[in-house]
Each structure stands twice: as structure tokens, then as C-alpha cells.
Chains A and B, each alone.
Chain A
């Protein structure tokens, strides 16, 4: 069975400081892992995906994530937050089905 846990429901950072959104997963297979972002009243947008190639995955808008099999983690990071990064972020694990985490709301303070 697969599952995904986003460890923080809400993260607040100041503009220009690093962002860390944490995600742990479990899967009976070798899963693919994704991060999606959802801005208010907009659809889900793919940030990045891991599909068993390089463990450090670079995405759009300066985001990246590192796949750590030993820790079953796929944390999302960004060196410097922008105001426009404020949104809901979803970690997704996909093997037999696509399963979304509960989401982390990122707030960016000026």
C-alpha cells in the first residue's frame, strides 16, 4: 500500500529566506514522486517529478527536491522565497494509483 505524509500543514517564512516543505512516503513498489503547487482559484501545476533517475530533482521557479530512499523522504526546498511562492503545495506518490498528501500551506511574509 502507498501513502504520503506531509509533515507540516502550514509553513511560514520571510521573503528571501529558505523554504523547506517536508514529505515522507511509503510504497510497495518503486514509486514516482511529484510536487504540485496550487495557487488560490487556480489549477494544480507540476513543480517537479522524480522517476528513478537523478535523486536531486530540479523544478520550476527555483524549487528542487531530493529523493532519499533510506529515509523514504522527498522534501521540497528553495533557497530564497518570493512573495509569489505563497500557495498550497502537494506531495504526490504514484505507483498503482496517484495519492496526494494533505498539503502544506506556504505563507511568505514581506
Chain B
């Protein structure tokens, strides 16, 4: 069975640009979460979506947004990129959402570099 897949694997953008990252969950998983991992730190929670609705949001500015599609795949969008947005963006899927105790399975991540 395929695990969580993310695209692209690497991305280089310049300040002020917009970026869209994509994630496909494990088949049968209805919940998708997004995390930002800055070099040398642990992942930080950005969003969780379940059944196409936002179920949780971390402490990130409104420049960050996401959505989930009917097939449970998800997009993370970041507007007006800043240098500090350079990070590894991780997507995780799980069967259920409430509480956030279900095992999350992580994709390999998208490494975003903002110049």
C-alpha cells in the first residue's frame, strides 16, 4: 500500500511569491495534518482537516491556508513568502481526528527554500 505522498519534493521561491504544496493521504484515511519543521527544530502543527473541514489550527499567520478535497487529498498554500518560511513541510494522515490521539503517518515532506 502506498504511504502518504507529497509533491513537490523540493521547491525554491523568492520572497513575496506564493506556493502550493500537495499531499495525498493513505487510502482510507480521512484526516490530513500539516506541519512545518524548521531546520534543527521539531515539527510545528499548522492545520488539521477532516472530512474537508478545518478541525485544528496552530499558531501561524493568515498567510497560511489549506483545504481538503473530496478524495481527502490536501493543499497547503502560503502567500507573501518570507525568508523565515524556509522549512520542511510535512503532511500526515490518520484515520480519525478526535481526539488527536490517532497514529499519524507522515509523508517525506516538501523542502521549501525562500530566497
Residues of chain A at the chain B interface (Cβ within 8 Å) = 31-32, 34, 36, 42-46, 49, 51, 90, 94-103
Contact = CB atoms under 8 A, between A and B. Distances in A.
B45 A97 contact: yes
Contacts of B3: 43
Nearest to A9: B40
B91 to A, nearest CB: 9
Contacts of B109: 43
Interface string B6-46: 00000000000000000000000000010100000111110
A102 B99 contact: no
Main secondary structure of the interface of A (DSSP, over half): strand
B51 to A, nearest CB: 18
Contact of B108 (A43, A51, A100, A102): A43
Interface residues of B, number: 23
Nearest to A91: B42
Contacts, number: 53
A94 B101 contact: yes
Contacts of A95: 99-101
A51 B43 CA distance: 21
A51 B100 CA distance: 11
A43 B42 contact: no
A40 to B, nearest CB: 12
25 contacts: A32-B99, A32-B101, A42-B108, A43-B3, A43-B106, A43-B109, A44-B43, A44-B106, A45-B106, A46-B105, A51-B101, A90-B43, A94-B100, A94-B101, A95-B99, A95-B100, A95-B101, A96-B99, A97-B45, A97-B100, A98-B33, A98-B100, A99-B45, A100-B35, A100-B42
A46 B103 contact: yes
B101 A100 contact: no
